[in-house]
Structure formats: structure tokens, C-alpha cells
Structure 1
């Protein structure tokens, strides 16, 4: 079973792809939107990644979810399962290939800090970035259970890095 897409070398176009998608999405969130961040591996220059742009939207509250879901559907997004209370998830595939993931978290949700701190640590520490890249490539090479297995096997590394942050 394959991952949602194949890991490839960092591409300089990823920040611009984030900016373009940010511009498309923000109109559907109105006054509840507080901030938008580029997260995940495509937000880390020099890090190999699945070419899937991750956006983190911070909202004051989850307001009219039906209207939001409908708006996101017009942009090609499918609402996934909530990843935790207050953490909504959308995915966009083009011709069967995952291109974007959107995390929508209520202000103060623990995942906001976690995603931003981990991203920033990878940006700042070339040794950590290389360790993470090596892990991701090894997990991809050995993967038989798909994206769920891949994410579960990356989690202990991320947890250990975050635990060192206090």
C-alpha cells in the first residue's frame, strides 16, 4: 500500500504554492480566521517531503461548519475526520494524487504550537532535519500499510523531539 504521494527532494516552488492556496482558502473563513501558517515538511527548506502543501488555519471558533465544508468542497477539498476535538482536517486530491492538507484548529489548541515548533526546529537545525529526512525515507521504503503506518512510525521521533522542548 502506497503513501498518499512519493517523497521527493525539496522544491523551491512550495512556498509559492502555499501562498496561492492560502489566497484561495481564506475567503471561506471570514471573521473567524485569525492566522494561516505553512506547516509540514514542505514548509522546511531543504527537507525532502511528500509534495503535499500543509496549511494550518487558526480560528476563533468553529462556526458554521456546513457552510465551511461546502466552501471547501468548491475548492476541491474533502472533509476528513476530526483529528481531535477542535482540530478539523481537509484534504485535496487532484487526479487521485494528494496535493494539499488543511488543518483548522481553534485558537489555543495544543497542535498549533506543536506544528509550529517542530517546523521551526527543523528549519533551524540541519542535523535534526537530516535525521528526520533519513527516517522518512526509510519508513517510505519499508512501508506496507500505507499512510497510517507511516504517520504512526514517525510519531515517536516527533514526540521525542518535542519532549526535549519542555
Structure 2
């Protein structure tokens, strides 16, 4: 079973695609918007990735969800299941291909710090970046069950890195 899209070499256009999409979706959040971050593999130069732009939206609170969901729907997004309490998820596909994922978390949600810290670690450490890329390519090549299998098999690598970082705050890269 295929992943949501095929892993490809780093594309220097990804940061520009993030900026354009961040500007496009910002109006969906009105006064609750705090910041929009580029996270995920497309936010890491020199890292192969599924060409799906991950946006992490920090909001002061989840307010007017029905209005926000309708505005996101008007932009081509489908709301997925909440990934955890206070962590809402949207996806956008164009022509049957996943192009964007939006994570919406209330300021202070534990996933915000984790996603940014992981991104910054990959940006800062070429050895870890290469190990992660090798893992992703191997998982894609051996994937039989789709995106759920792929994500589940990546999780131990990420959890181990984040656990090491949690134990040694001095090694946490600054953003």
C-alpha cells in the first residue's frame, strides 16, 4: 500500500510553499492566531521528505471551531481526528495527492515544543538527519500497510531522540 505521497529529495521551494500556505490559512484563525511554524521534514534543508508541507498553528484557544473548520474546508482542507487533546489536524489533497498537513495546538501544548525541537535537531545535526532519512527511505521501500505503518515504525526513532533531548536540556538546540 502506498504512502500518502512518495519521498523525494529536498526541494528548495518547500519553504516558499510553506510561507504561501501560512499566509493563505492565517485568516481562518482570526484573533486566536499566535504563530504558524514550518515543521516536519520539508522544514529541514537537505532532508528527503514526502512533499507534504506541515504547518503547526499555535492558537490562544480553540474558539469558533465550526467557523474555522468551514473556512479551512473552503481552502480545500479536510479535518481529521484530533491527534490528542487540544491537537486538531487537517489535511489537504490535490488531485488525490497529499500536499499539506495542518496541526493546530493551543499555546503551551506539549506537541508544539516537541515538533519544533525535533525539527531543530534535524537541522543542526547532519548525522542524525542522515540516519532519519535512511530510516524513512527504508520504511517506504518495505511498507505494506500504508501511512499508519510508516508512522508507527518511525515513532521509536523520534521518541528515542526526544527522550535523550529531554534528559539533557543543555543539548536542546535553540529555535
TM-score normalised to structure 2 length: 0.94
Aligned-partner Cα distance in 2 for 1:25–1:88 = 14
The count of residues paired between Structure 1 and Structure 2 equals 166
Aligned-partner Cα distance in 2 for 1:108–1:158 = 20
Aligned residue runs from structure 1 range 11-160, under 5 A? 11-160=11-160
1:42, distance to aligned residue in structure 2 (A): 0.1
Contiguous gaps of at least 5 residues in structure 1: none
1:62, distance to aligned residue in structure 2 (A): 0.3
Aligned-partner Cα distance in 2 for 1:161–1:36 = 24
Contiguous gaps of at least 5 residues in structure 2: 167-175
Cα-to-partner distance string for 1:80-125 (whole Å, 9 max, x where unaligned): 0000000000000001000000000011100000000000000000
1:133, distance to aligned residue in structure 2 (A): 0.0
> Would you identify which runs of 4 or more consecutive aligned residues in structure 1 move more than 4 Å?
none
Aligned-partner Cα distance in 1 for 2:86–2:21 = 22
Aligned-partner Cα distance in 2 for 1:163–1:22 = 30
